[in-house]
Amino acid sequence: MAYSESGPSATSSAPTPPDSGHQETIVVIDFGSQYSRLIARRIRESKVYCELIPHTAPWETVAHLNPKGIVLSGGPASVYEKDAPLPPDWVYESRLPVLGICYGMQAMVHQLGGKVAPASRREYGYAELIQDTPSDPIFHETPESMQVWMSHGDHISELPPGFSVLAHTDNSPIAALGDRNGRIGIQFHPEVVHTPKGKQLIENFLYKICGCSGSWTPGNFVSETVAAIRDQVGGGKVICALSGGVDSAVAATLVHRAIGDRLTCIFVNNGLMRHREPERVRETFKKYMEMNLSYVNATEHFLGALRSVTDPETKRKVIGEEFINVFEDEASRLGQVDFLAQGTLYPDVIESQVPGDDVSAKIKTHHNVGGLPEHMRMELVEPLRYLFKDEVREVGLELGLPREMVFRQPFPGPGLAIRIIGEVTNDSLDTLREADRILMEEIEDAGLYEDLWQSFAVLTDSRSVGVTGDFRTYGNVIAIRAVTSDDAMTADWARIPYEVLGRVSNRICNEAPGVNRVVYDITSKPPGTIEWE
Ligand code: XMP
């Protein structure tokens, strides 16, 4: 199929994509599928920038992106339901290529005059897709018969005018369709790993149909972002709170590249970090980044505020408030500062997008430092606002940050305080730090560190009877938590080899003060959470 330039005649209100603007972008319209984010990630992996937007977004919020194509995601609705979410008119009026996936395809067919009907039975799982039009660009370099992943209740019973069948399966006579204007619909999910040629299909849409060139690379991101930060900040000063994690480190490094010494980073040691963590963060920032770093050791401050606190949420609140006090004190020493840099990531931004509230979704910012007091309000600089975590890591490597920082496991702001059940004291911190140090050494020695989303020790409030030599002991119980996860929303307990667990247990009982028992937490999330508090 060759695509003509003419397309259907646009209505008088048809928006014209502007000539200038952003780099090449694909707009993914979200109809609520559990896979919507995965579609966005796959497109980015194919080196094309994309944004996930609610289906209610008006053209004005999209036009500045100068999109090269539109993807309509799947979703749980049926087009015949009352109030079923439908693509906005600008999708068709823009004359851009469209890829409708599952529900997205049905919505497009419904709007363009075809028919969608309930299938006699729901189709879920693998299917064999047979191409009827193998020469179509969407099928470039794919076999005429291939495995795809289906998950749908409705199916297409009649083509819209101008469309033809591109492929079928046993259960779906119209499993893929297309017209001469680069509008494609597919019933299956190319974004999941169960469709082995899915990546190729997505790339065919991006490169063969939308004409993308694949400019979304870490190197381009760095140069564009550094320029954008310079634009935003002008001659102003920026502060950034470093946590020791990859997000704030990458955000700070980008800002530093852009404005050099006009950035000051503040690193607060709250006394709740892991063994040698504060030293490590300081050393790394000195060695690799050479940036202004003000280090505040507020350990006594935090421990004082946490005295007798045992409730998990109260711990978080106290730590959050203390952080703001210390940060504010430190920031006030720097004189007038206009900007606050933060490592906010795209998933936080997506989560704060409210359908029907699109304009605010564009400008709403996510405060992961915790609400700063009114008189400290600064303009936010959020260079990672449109990145997924794996992209942040790639950018970190591109910037030359050390691997141990780039692939560091996430560590919660309240730190060890929420891994000590009950009151946080110097003694309990010493015990936990030691147990945690041993665990991390063994995990690293076994080459497991980067396979685990998080691994850590928890000091429980249980005591247990044990025996050491000829003596009865009554000691602390340490729990080991290690999980695999993609995004912390769900997690599974990690199947750490028994030998590693055995060594961890032996060493903790021998080396961590007061511990005589080690248990392994085999709870997934849900029903558990990753942290114990
Ligand atoms: P849960 O325990 O809710 O944790 O399964 C999910 C992810 O969030 C981290 N976490 C926190 N991070 N402040 C943070 O900065 C917190 O209060 C907090 N609580 C949990 C947790 O480590 C995991 O990665």
- Closest-lying ligand 1 atom to the alpha carbon of residue 485: 24
Q: Residue 366: what pLDDT?
A: 34
> Could you tell me if the CB of 218 is within 6 A of ligand 1?
no
413 CA distance to ligand 1 centroid (A)?
A: 8
Residues paired with 118 in a beta bridge? 154
> Could you tell me if the CB of 525 is within 6 A of ligand 1?
yes
Tell which residue, 69, 97, 94, 81, has the closest CA to residue 32. Answer: 81
530 CA distance to ligand 1 centroid (A)?
A: 7
Give Cβ neighbours of residue 332 (< 8 Å, ≥ 6 apart): none
Q: Position 12: which residue type? A: S
Tell which residue, 390, 511, 520, has the closest CA to residue 460. Answer: 520
Contact by Cβ (8 Å): 508, 431: no
Low-confidence residues in the chain, pLDDT < 70: 1-22, 353-372
Q: From 411, 487, 530, 533, give the residue whose CB has the most ligand 1 atoms within 8 Å, as the site to mutate.
A: 530
Nearest CA to ligand 1 atom 21: 412
**Helix H or strand E segment including 516:** strand 515-520
Contact by Cβ (8 Å): 100, 106: yes
> Could you tell me if the CB of 316 is within 6 A of ligand 1?
yes
Select which of 50, 102, 212, 240 is catalytic. 102
Residue 376, SS3 per DSSP: helix
Q: Reply yes or no on whether 210 is catalytic.
A: no
Q: Residue 286: what pLDDT?
A: 82
Contact by Cβ (8 Å): 85, 32: yes
- As a whole number of angstroms, the distance between CA 433 and CA 272 comes to 9
Q: What is the pTM of this model?
A: 0.83
Select which of 51, 191, 434, 533 is catalytic. 191
Nearest CA to ligand 1 atom 7: 488
Q: Residue 51: what pLDDT?
A: 95
Q: Reply yes or no on whether 375 is catalytic.
A: no
- Closest-lying ligand 1 atom to the alpha carbon of residue 528: 5
> Could you tell me if the CB of 488 is within 6 A of ligand 1?
yes
- As a whole number of angstroms, the distance between CA 462 and CA 28 comes to 50
> Could you tell me if the CB of 54 is within 6 A of ligand 1?
no
Q: Residue 520: what pLDDT?
A: 98
Nearest CA to ligand 1 atom 6: 488
> Could you tell me if the CB of 454 is within 6 A of ligand 1?
yes
Q: Residue 6: what pLDDT?
A: 33
Q: Position 35: which residue type? A: Y
Q: Reply yes or no on whether 22 is catalytic.
A: no
DSSP structural state of residue 491 = B
- As a whole number of angstroms, the distance between CA 31 and CA 84 comes to 10
Nearest CA to ligand 1 atom 18: 412
Quick one: what percent of the chain has pLDDT higher than 70?
Answer: 92
- As a whole number of angstroms, the distance between CA 74 and CA 350 comes to 17
> Could you tell me if the CB of 277 is within 6 A of ligand 1?
no
- As a whole number of angstroms, the distance between CA 49 and CA 483 comes to 30
- Closest-lying ligand 1 atom to the alpha carbon of residue 529: 5
Contact by Cβ (8 Å): 56, 213: no
Q: Token pair of 137, please?
A: 């660009």
- Closest-lying ligand 1 atom to the alpha carbon of residue 454: 24
Q: Token pair of 296, please?
A: 């505040």
Residue 506, SS3 per DSSP: helix
Q: From 321, 421, 524, 531, give the residue whose CB has the most ligand 1 atoms within 8 Å, as the site to mutate.
A: 531
- Cα–Cα distances (Å) from 466 to 33, 331, 431, 471, 520, in that order, read 51, 50, 17, 8, 17
- Closest-lying ligand 1 atom to the alpha carbon of residue 453: 24
- As a whole number of angstroms, the distance between CA 304 and CA 133 comes to 72
